[in-house]
Every structure is written in C-alpha cells, then in structure tokens.
Amino acid sequence: MLLVSGILRTRSSSRGNGGLSLLEMLVVICLIGIVAAVAVGWYGGAHRDLIERVTNQRNAQEIVSLGVCATVSGADFVVPDSKQATVENLIVGTVGQHGIWKGKTFRLTSMQPETLHGALPFVKFDAGLLLYEPSGGQL
C-alpha cells in the first residue's frame, strides 16, 4: 500500500483483475466469425444440390402440365422422337386448335432453352405425350 497525498492506494497489477484485454476480445470475436463463415458455407453447399434438384423437378412439372393442356387443345407442337425439340416448341409457343382453348397460346415463358438440360431427365416422352418422371430416370 502506498500513501500518496494523504490517500491510501493499493498497488494494482497492469492486468487488472484477470479479465480479457481489448486485443484478446477482438481475437476471440474474429475466430468466432471465421468459424461461423466456414459453417455457413458448408451448410449452404450441402443443400445446393438438393435445391437444384427440386428446381429441376418443378420445371419438369411445369413443362408436363403445359404440354398436357396443349395436347388436349389439339396444338401441334410434338416432334416425334425428340423430347428436346418438343419442349423447345413449348418455349417458343403453340396455339390451341379446338375446344375451349382454341386460339389460346401455350408458352413456357419462365424457361429458356439453356435451363432445360436439368429438367429434361424428369420428363418422359411416351407415344407423343410428355409425362412427369419423379425419379429423373434414376431408380
């Protein structure tokens, strides 16, 4: 203990009472940030394949749904033995020929030909009809 100007003071260490310094706290925060960034990246990457598969399945369902409606209306869009060309005709658009959809244009407005390659495995082409294949040709 020291007596300075009539006030009794105790000597304190330069570290205080054993707490963390500002620099140590910043290092801990940085480490937590790095670990969190790695974990989020890993988690997002693990689910990317699943998200892509579901998106492709949804696109295939849209293709098949529009194809069924266009077929019922008598639209001429089917290219025999070519699933790719048939679906591309739906992207360009086709017009119904009879029934309540006569004159109605059937068009896949939300898809481009370059997005088809992921969806086509989930579309089955059978006897001129587009059918949905949930397994994507994988059994």
Q: Please check whether residue 47 lies inside any domain of the structure.
A: no
Minimal CA–CA distance to 62: which of 20, 97, 95, 109? 109
Q: SS3 of 89, please?
A: helix
Average pLDDT over residues 82-108: 90
Asked if the structure places residue 36 within a domain, the reply is no
pLDDT at 99: 87
Range of the domain at 103: 57-139
pTM of the complete model:
0.65
Is residue 120 a part of any domain in this protein?
A: yes
- Helix then strand then coil, % of the chain, to nearest 5: 55, 15, 35
Residue for token digits 């048939």?
Answer: 86
Asked, for residue 105, whether it belongs to a domain, the answer is yes
51, part of any domain = no
Residue 18 forms part of a structural domain: no
Kindly state whether residue 84 falls inside one of the protein's structural domains. Answer: yes
For the chain, what is the domain count?
1
Higher pLDDT, 9 or 99: 99
Q: Which residues contact 57 (CB under 8 A, 6 or more apart)?
A: 119, 122, 134, 136
The SS3 assignment for 12 reads: coil
Assess if residue 131 is contained within a domain. yes
pLDDT at 139: 52
